[in-house]
Amino acid sequence: MRKEILLIGLIFSVVFISCNKAKAPETITEENYSKIVIPNYNADSAYAYVKKQCDFGPRTPGSKAHEQCANYIVDFMKQYADTVIVQEFSTKLYNGTIVKGKNIIASFNLGATDRMLYGAHWDSRLWADHDPDSANHKKPVMGANDGASGVGVLMEMARCLSLKPQKVGVDIIFFDMEDQGCPEWDKTDIQDQSDWCLGSQYWARNTHIPYYQAKFGVLLDMVGYSNPRFTKEAQSMNYASSIMNKIWKIASDRGYGNMFVDERTGGVMDDHIWVNQIAKVPMIDIVQNDPSTSFFPYWHTTKDDINCISKNTLKAVGEVCLTAIYSAQ
């Protein structure tokens, strides 16, 4: 998707420490998340799910590949989830074109009131408007990393969740029509960037369960690149800093601190913005962020294909997310 840098105000926090003079200060020991037992996450399987999506072709609005991929995800999730809901909707692209989308929601442990939300977008972009070759600017993007990688991680997580019961409820949402915002070669100026993330905007206004609530949410976007770099994105820190810090602590404890960099970077427009603002679910974004290459070298180009994808990156992200689920008390 488009990763437009957003400006946010500085946030100051004040920590108050109180002491009990009658007792010596207690030593606070942080949980070591490397000790949390999670189901065996199979990186080969996650990679195969990414490749399968790419084999359909670009999953652009109205295409045969879009329909085939939707059916694939739904059929897969029905094997493992307690329930699967397909939320169909119509929406307008930036230029007024009406398109039909499908948000796919899979739920686990339906009886649990404490819930976690995980999401990714499954569509791919209509236009490779960031391609170095201008001849490709109106060609569709395969979207192996920008879309399919997050979906592949969540599909393998779904298989894992079916193997070992968890205390909390988990909802996985595959958002549609995320990546169809105004292309760079079109000079239409949409200040609020509402032409992006159309599926998450629809879900946030029409949650699959009325008055839906979750303790927190985690969005996965571009999480399969062979040279991963995930930073603490500003909007995530604004809306849900405690969640982001926990996820980064999990990553560090499990040996993935080199991928999950303890660095704050600018905000991006992504599905988590609308989930936070409209649905009021505190959601963070795990997103590839290398400012020198516009997030990753093949972002919104025709070379965002399966050759970008690393099994090691898929494994790291999946294990971190599963640990967050199974560490819940």
Write down the pLDDT at residue 4.
Answer: 53
**Domain presence at residue 22:** no
Number of domains within the chain: 1
Under 8 Å CB-to-CB from 230, ≥6 apart: which residues?
A: 223, 251, 259, 260, 261, 286, 287, 288, 289
> Please, is 11 exposed, middle or buried when counting C-beta atoms within 10 Å of its C-beta (0-12, 13-18, 19+)?
exposed
Q: What is the percent of the chain with per-residue pLDDT over 70, rounded to a whole number?
A: 91
Q: Give the CATH number, domain containing residue 134.
A: 3.40.630.10
**Domain presence at residue 5:** no
**Domain presence at residue 15:** no
Write down the pLDDT at residue 293.
Answer: 80
**Domain presence at residue 1:** no
pTM: 0.92
Crossing angle of helices 311-326 and 234-253, rounded to 10° = 90
Indicate the average pLDDT of the chain: 92
Rounded to a whole number of angstroms, the CA Rg of the chain reads 19
Higher pLDDT pick, 81 / 292 = 81
141 three-class SS: coil
> Please, is 211 exposed, middle or buried when counting C-beta atoms within 10 Å of its C-beta (0-12, 13-18, 19+)?
exposed
| Residue 171 tokens, joined | 């909802």
Write down the pLDDT at residue 200.
Answer: 98
Cα-based distances in Å from 95 to 63, 142, 181, 187: 18, 22, 9, 11
CA 218 – CA 283 distance, rounded (Å): 5
Mean pLDDT along residues 62-74: 98
Range of the domain at 136: 33-326
Mean pLDDT along residues 11-22: 37
Q: What is the DSSP pairing of strand 260-265 with strand 115-121? A: unpaired
Write down the pLDDT at residue 17.
Answer: 34
Cα-based distances in Å from 189 to 64, 140, 186, 192, 236: 30, 22, 9, 9, 25
Say how many residues make up the chain: 329
302 closest CA partner among 124, 182, 62:
124
Above 60 in pLDDT, residue 252?
A: yes
**Domain presence at residue 11:** no
Q: If pLDDT is split at 50, 70 and 90, which confidence band does 290 have?
A: confident
Quote the strand ranges of the chain, DSSP E: 83-92, 98-108, 115-121, 169-175, 216-221, 230-233, 260-265, 283-287
**Domain presence at residue 21:** no
CA 149 – CA 316 distance, rounded (Å): 12
CA 221 – CA 2 distance, rounded (Å): 11
